[in-house]
Structure 1
């Protein structure tokens, strides 16, 4: 019977697990919890292929518990109840460890139904998810579990797994492996051990007379390092990193995250976020930036990929290297906060619409002073509602553009 390579070389001890040293290293908290033998209910959060299932299997083995592996895409509460029915039999004398994969696919009612089983202590739940548990798992479950985040395996650790897999897969009939193959696979799979082992298995089974070549490895592992789901964490994480890189004035990092979005085919999300950045982070320090970015985005959609990458790169570099100001977003957010708090007040009578019959009888616009009739097109009068008199929402940023505007209006408004 065929057995995938990933199953053949699945680690049996914590020392054999590649990566996750922050959890399973000599002083890692998860390692200490496992070695104590007292296993609480756990949630393993992280991308696929990084060892979540493997660690759950090791926990069951080291604590001498029967492991039940369920997947939330196909399992239901009935499956949990069936496990409970076995607990008092010889099949699970030391209790059960239930590994529930992709728990985010359980709806609220199903997740809440788990409570009665884990609170009695009859089962220990280890739930895994590739999505942020604080978004997809309900508080009642979160409050009874400890969350551990698994991270993509670094290339240096991945290399060890690839070398071991090649040795086992080829056995005694070892064929030559071209220089660079191991390093390429270790780097190209994006921290996913399962992908790496799948690539190794494919290469070994398809090896020709020349053995395993770098060209074959590049074809087997092509684009596999992309982790992207438009509805998942990676989508928002990349967009967040893109904006923070521009805000931090790092054009290289900004180009990197733009490239990740474009390679995933998500030009729309990149363009939308760039339009936001132009006003939120560059803002009044360089007001023309918004128009330039809009022009680049329009050009990108007229061109389409791959040429669209050029105007988008131009825009992202411009924003990353431009002076920054967040005075606009700070100002509008402060004004909105007052509105939401109920601080609004009546619009002053002299500002209300007076272009209708009877407006004068209502006192509309009677004392309004037309600024263009005064020097420098400005005259002192109150514009805010009486309740908000003196409120200040906008503060001039320290950049050259806004300071020039501030100097102008300080000069005009202080003239007698």
Structure 2
């Protein structure tokens, strides 16, 4: 979920080529001259050793994470990162406290990088404000979404917005040539590309450095060059070799096939077929799919299609996502496949999905229903005089811990059933518990759900 390191550009050799070839300093950074060119405000700020909070906005593969890491290294700041998908307010506050201590005790600044910052909700974004405002951390948020729609105005106003554009063909060629030649992180000259082959990789990349380098890695692997360094076999890659290799692993994230494969993966897990789930998962990863996308789909699936039938499904899916953040590919394949198999063989229930549907219909129909007086906040002065909290029956005053006469829904919805448990897996026990509680609730007749047809 979070990590701290002083040289964020360092990458282990087992990482994919695109990760290994991330720039280590500003001089290695390719592209984005509108933001980083000589004389531009951001470049001038960095050349003066200054550091302010930034929001990096641009499509996938244009260098948002790479820019954040080289900025931290350029100003010699400590590096800490969070995933907006898995981090909570507690994590944000902890890192801000650590940044404050680091600044007070060592005089060292902290860069807090938040990938997919648009996924932070309002409370999570608000938790960033004190640390950013006081300078205890310098926030660098990366997003593919319009920050004016996705970020809170108070947070956005405290950050400099940097718009990143798709890389040019010349940018991609430079990155490909560097990966071919680099003796430590790339192929050390063991791959030779024809002009047509290089042009094809640029075309496949379409402004996305990650896509172009992943395509190069796939083509090299198909020719027997599977690791970094100067030692090992050599491969001459012409257009046919690159095109043939890419056809074998064709996976265009903008095409219908992308959605077909994602659909096949989800339906294989839903259909309790672990073999098919593993196949489609690895086909996505081998085709260059963002593993975070795959992990997100499994987190959603755990609640949408397994739910309370297996209480470990959601924690396992979240743990796989966390493992991906901590160890990266290729090692994270173990955690992702582990989770996919577990979700495929788990008992299934869509009761959570049905509860959401019924609940939203209730909200749309009775969205202005008043809160019953006994449930209203009675802690402030004068609340009791207004009748707030009057008649509230404290459940812990009962031996069973359940106040059977007390109602919690608005009067208009009293007795309405939004959650209907299945009888699959652990949810069978949940169903018995829910049935027993509802039977104890005296004088609470079951009403139709909003929108239901009369029976």
Which residue of 150, 165, 190 maps to 1:136? 150
What is aligned with 1:190?
206
Q: Is the 8 A contact 2:25 2:73 kept in 1?
A: no
Q: 1:170 to 1:38 in 2, by over 3 A?
A: closer
Deviation at 1:20, TM superposition (A): 0.3
1:128–1:144: structure 2 CA closer, same or farther, 3 Å change rule?
Answer: same
User: 2:178 is matched with which residue?
Assistant: 164
- Which position in structure 1 is the counterpart of 2:236? 211
* Partner Cα separation in structure 1 for residue 89 and residue 212 of structure 2: 34
CA separation of 1:223 and 1:155: change in aligned 2, threshold 3 A: farther
Cα separation, partners in 2 of 1:129 and 1:210, compared to 1, 3 Å: closer
Indicate yes or no: 2:31 matched with 1:19.
yes
Change (3 A) 1:157 1:98: same
Structure 2 partner of 1:201? 217
How far apart are 1:100 and its partner, in Å?
Answer: 0.7
Post-superposition Cα deviations, 1:321-357, rounded to whole Å, max 9, x if no partner, equal xxxxxxxxxxxxxxxxxxxxxxxxxxxxxxxxxxxxx
Distance 1:227 1:26, change over 3 A: farther
Structure 2 counterpart SS, 1:67: strand
State how far apart, in whole Å, the 2-side matches of 1:27 and 1:225 are.
Answer: 36
Would the alpha carbon gap of residues 92 and 202 (structure 1) be closer, same or farther in structure 2, given more than 3 Å must change? farther
Larger Rg: 1
Residues 153 and 192 of structure 1 are in contact (CA less than 8 Å); yes or no, is this contact kept in structure 2? yes
1:190, 1:225 within 8 Å by CA — same for their partners in 2? no
Q: Please give the per-residue CA displacement for 1:20-69, whole angstroms capped at 9, x wherever unaligned.
A: 01111122222112112221211000011111111111111121110111
Residue matched to 2:110: 96
Q: Give the direction of change, closer, same or farther, for the CA distance of 1:210–1:89 in structure 2 (3 Å limit).
A: closer
Structure 2 matches for 1:215-364, cutoff 5 A? 215-218=240-243, 219-220=245-246, 224=252, 226=254
Q: Secondary structure at the match of 2:194?
A: coil
Q: How far apart, CA to CA, are the structure 1 residues paired with 2:253 and 2:198? A: 15
CA contact (8 A) 1:166 1:204 kept: no
> CA deviation digits over 1:251-283, x for unaligned, max 9?
xxxxxxxxxxxxxxxxxxxxxxxxxxxxxxxxx
- Alignment equivalent of 1:111, drawn from 118, 125, 129: 125
TM-fit CA distance, 1:191: 0.7
Shift of the alpha carbon at 1:175? Answer: 4.2
Question: Aligned partners of 2:123 and 2:96: how far apart in 1?
Answer: 19
Q: Which residue of 2 aligns with 1:39?
A: 51
Q: 1:25 to 1:110 in 2, by over 3 A?
A: same
For 1:14 and 1:159, the matched residues in 2 are separated by 18
Change (3 A) 1:184 1:2: same
Alpha-carbon distance in 2 for matches of 1:195, 1:183: 14
Rounded Cα–Cα distance in structure 1 between residues aligned with 2:170 and 2:157: 35
**TM-score, structure 1 normalization:** 0.51
Check the 8 A contact 1:86/1:92 in 2, yes or no: no
The change in CA–CA distance for 1:182 and 1:124 in structure 2 (over 3 A counts) is: same
Q: 1:136: Cα distance to partner?
A: 0.9
Deviation at 1:224, TM superposition (A): 4.2
What secondary structure is seen at the aligned counterpart in 1 of 2:114? strand
Q: Cα gap change, 1:124/1:181 in structure 2, threshold over 3 Å: closer, same or farther?
A: same
Structure 2 Cα separation of the partners of residues 46 and 134 of structure 1: 13
SS in 2 for 1:170: coil
For residues 336-383 of structure 1, give each alpha carbon's deviation from its aligned partner in whole angstroms, at most 9, with x where no partner exists: xxxxxxxxxxxxxxxxxxxxxxxxxxxxxxxxxxxxxxxxxxxxxxxx
Task: Name the count of aligned residue pairs.
Answer: 228
Look up the SS of the partner of 1:211 in the other structure.
Answer: strand
> What is the TM-score normalised by the length of structure 2?
0.46
Q: What residue in structure 2 maps to residue 10 of structure 1?
A: 22
Separation of aligned partners in 1, 2:239 and 2:255: 23
What is residue 179 of structure 1 aligned with on the other side?
195
User: 1 CA distance for matches of 2:60 and 2:141?
Assistant: 13
Q: Residue 72 and residue 227 in structure 1: after superposition, are their counterparts in 2 closer, same or farther (change >3 A)?
A: farther
